[in-house]
Structure formats: C-alpha cells, structure tokens
Structure 1
Amino acid sequence: MPDPEIRLRKMLEALRENKYRITPQRLAILSVLAESKGHPSVEAVYERVKRDFPTTSLATIYKNVSVLKDLGQVLELGFSDDSNRYDGNKPYDHPHVVCTACRKILDPDISALADMTEELTRQTGFSIVRHRLDFFGICPDCQAGQ
C-alpha cells in the first residue's frame, strides 16, 4: 500500500493546482481516503468525517469524492448493486479481490497483468486505455465463520 502521507500530499497538490480551497472538512475527506485500506463507500467516508465535523453533509462528501475522481486522485469501483467504493491509495487501474459475503476488497499484486494487456492488444488490435479486473469469492475470515 502506498504511503498515506504521500497520497495525501498528491491529492492536496492536485486540488491546489486546480484552484480548489483546502477546507478542514476537505482535508478530513482526503485523509480518510489516503489512509483507507478497505476501499470505502461515500457513506463510510461520511461516517468517519462526521465524527470530527458533525455538520458535514453526505452531499459534501459526494461532491468532494466526485472532484477527486475527476482529478484522477481516486478510483471508483462501481458494482451492480449500486454500492460504489473508492480507492484513494491506488487511483489507477489495478485488479481487486472482492468477498461476496462481507464485501471486503483487497488489491492483489498480479505481475502478469501487463503481459495480459499486451496479449489482448496483439490479439484484438485494440489500444487498451483502461481495464478493470475483479475476482469474486469468499475471504478467509468469512470461510472460517461458515
């Protein structure tokens, strides 16, 4: 996982370069996303931020996450049940392993992904610009509880 302090600085830099003010609430949102290991939903970010800023609205969280997404500082993972999750640590395309029981999301390190992309380009003639590779299963914690 990338260093949360480095990610926080990069997110702040992107906001400043695009003339966004750095408010205490915005800084709290960035911190949650930079430190998160679990690909939180907007609602989860909201629950964490409102502990310190109880007047912050859910709409404020949505707006800020959307800005960060547009600036390429968070990766949005959309799922068919409309439960979008966000990755502030690795805001670029990478594979995920998703537990279908508890919804935990992990970032496996798959070295063969670059080879797979090259092979797809060769076989199809496509110029691959983005990818999404998700694996679904039951995590060890949920398996132990069954």
Structure 2
Amino acid sequence: MAVSTSEQRLRTLIERLRARGYRLTPQRLAILQVLLRDSSHPSAEQVFAQVRRLYPTISLATVYSTLHVLKELGELLEIDCHEGFSRYDGRQPQPHGHIRCLVCRRVDDLPLGEGERLAQAVAAQTGYQEVRPQLLFTGICPRCQGGAEGEA
C-alpha cells in the first residue's frame, strides 16, 4: 500500500520533532495535521480555531510555540503578507513564491524554481549568509474577478 505525500510529510515532521526531544502531544499532532491539510496558508489564529474544535482547552500560546519550533527546524515557512500577521506553509517549507488576492485575501503557492538561485546570487553579491527569498505578488484571483473592480 502506497503512502501518500501528506502522510510521509507528517511522519517526517514527527521524526524531526522527536529527534530534537519534543513530545508529540495530541494537540501538537493536531497542529501538524492542520498545517498539512490546509492549503490556504493559515494564520496562527486560524490554526488555533481549527485545533480548538478538537481540543477546546488548547491555548494560542501552544499554537505559537509549535509554529516557532517547526520554523526553527526548517519545516515551516512563515509568510509575511503585509496584513499585520503571518501566515504559515507547512506543506512546502522550502522557499517559494506566493500570490495573495487583494479581495478575498486567499494565498496561493507560486512554483518559482529560481528562488534558490536568486538567493545564492544575492548572498554572493552582498556577503549576507542564510539568504532566503520571500516573494509575494498581489492581484485579484479568478474567483473574485467577476465584480471585484473597485473593492480592492
């Protein structure tokens, strides 16, 4: 029986957490599952709301600390969409571009293969280390294009 990409990704995250000495609590597992299932690039508050349905006593601090750990492990991409809060991508933690709808605020991945090459060039030119591209485009998504003029 073949293991899905999502299941394999979950196993990888669990192994990485355990290898660093972190306990896998039911709440932490639920956070991981939300991050892998939700392709909308949820905010911490959105992750919290989804996990809270299963675990009403979970705190927002638990969500933030788990997000921080995953980010430190390189298993979570934090996205600044200039909305006053961050969004998170646990499905594709490697640097890649994003596009945000100006109307509905949805965020989608952009398959830009040049990000790593560009980061290396910037590092070589500037002397900076650990350069990571964070590319964000904005526009109006196909779903919102119908009557969106003037609403953005």
- Normalised by the length of structure 1, the TM-score is 0.86
- Mind listing any 5+ residue stretches in structure 2 that lack a counterpart? none
Structure 1 runs of 4+ aligned residues shifted over 2 Å read 110-122, 124-129
- How many Å apart are 1:29 and its aligned residue? 0.4
Instruction: Name which of 49, 68, 71 aligns with 1:69.
Output: 71
The alpha carbon displacement at 1:27 in A equals 0.4
1:97–1:107 Cα contact (<8 Å) kept: yes
Instruction: Give the counterpart letter for 2:137 in structure 1.
Output: F
Deviation at 1:49, TM superposition (A): 0.3
The aligned counterpart of 1:40 is: 42
Moved more, 104-113 or 125-134: 125-134
Distance of aligned partners of 1:144 and 1:66 in 2 relative to their CA distance in 1, 3 Å threshold: same
SS at match of 1:101: coil
* Residue ranges of structure 1 left out of the alignment (5+ in a row): none
Q: How far 1:84 sits from its partner (Å)?
A: 0.4
Deviation of 1:34 after TM superposition, in Å, equals 1.3
For 1:133, the equivalent position in structure 2 comes to: 135
Question: In structure 2, what residue type is equivalent to 1:92?
Answer: Q
The answer (yes or no) to whether the contact 2:81–2:136 under 8 Å persists in 1 is no
Q: CA RMSD in A?
A: 2.1
Distance 1:45 1:138 in 2: 25
CA deviation profile, 1:119-141 (whole Å, cap 9, x unmatched)? 6578x465673111111111111
Structure with a larger share of its residues in helix: 1
Report the 3-state secondary structure (helix = DSSP H, G, I; strand = E; otherwise coil) of the residue aligned with 2:83: coil
Asked if 1 retains the 8 angstrom alpha-carbon contact of 2:31 and 2:63, the reply is yes
Cα offset, 1:80, TM superposition: 2.9
8 A contact 1:7–1:88 mirrored in 2: no
- Work out the CA distance in 2 between the residues paired with 1:74 and 1:121: 22
Task: Give deviations 1:87-118, integer Å, cap 9, x for gaps.
Answer: 00011110111112111111122345456556
Counterpart for residue 100 of structure 2: 98
Once residues 14 and 67 of structure 2 are traced to their aligned partners in structure 1, the CA distance between those partners, rounded to angstroms, is 13
Q: 1:7 Cα shift?
A: 1.6
Give the Cα separation in 2 of the matches to 1:145 and 1:56.
39
Paired letter, 2:143: D
Aligned residue for 1:142? 144
SS of 2:84's partner is: coil
How many residue pairs match? The answer is 144
The residue that corresponds to 2:16 in the other structure is 14
Deviation by residue 1:17-69 (Cα, 9 ceiling, x = unmatched): 10000111110001001112110000110111011101111111111111111
Tell me the residue number matched to 1:110. 112
Q: TM-score, normalised by structure 2?
A: 0.83
> Aligned in 2, Cα 1:76/1:96: closer, same or farther, shift over 3 Å?
same
